[in-house]
Amino acid sequence: MTSSIRLKTKTSNGVTTVRAIIRHPMETGFRIDSDTSELVPTHHINNVTVKHNGSVVMSCDWSRAVSKNPYLSFMFKGGNAGDKLELAWRDNKNNTDSVETLIV
Partner 1 sequence: MLRRDTLKYLASGSIVLLSGLLKPITALAKWNDDAFSAVDYDEAIAAYFSNQEIKESDQITIGVHSVVENGAVVPVKIKTDLPNIESITIFVDKNPNPLIANFDLFPSCVGFISTRIKIQQSSNIIATVKSDGKIFSTRKFIEVHEGGCG
User: Footprint of partner 1 on this chain (CB under 8 A)?
Assistant: 15, 28, 30-32, 46-47, 52, 55-68, 70-78
- State the nearest-atom distance from the C-beta of 15 to partner 1, in Å: 6
- State the nearest-atom distance from the C-beta of 12 to partner 1, in Å: 12
Q: Give 3 or 74: the residue with its C-beta nearer to partner 1.
A: 74
Asked if residue 15 lies in contact with residue 75, where contact means CB atoms within 8 angstroms, the answer is: yes
Asked if residue 52 lies in contact with residue 79, where contact means CB atoms within 8 angstroms, the answer is: yes
- State the nearest-atom distance from the C-beta of 42 to partner 1, in Å: 11
Q: What 3-state DSSP class applies to 82? A: coil
Q: Give 28 or 101: the residue with its C-beta nearer to partner 1.
A: 28
Q: How many Cα atoms occupy the beta-carbon half-sphere of 81 within 13 Å? A: 4
Q: Give 74 or 93: the residue with its C-beta nearer to partner 1.
A: 74
The CA–CA distances, whole Å, from 46 to 10, 35, 57, 60, 96 equal: 26, 27, 17, 8, 10
- State the nearest-atom distance from the C-beta of 9 to partner 1, in Å: 14
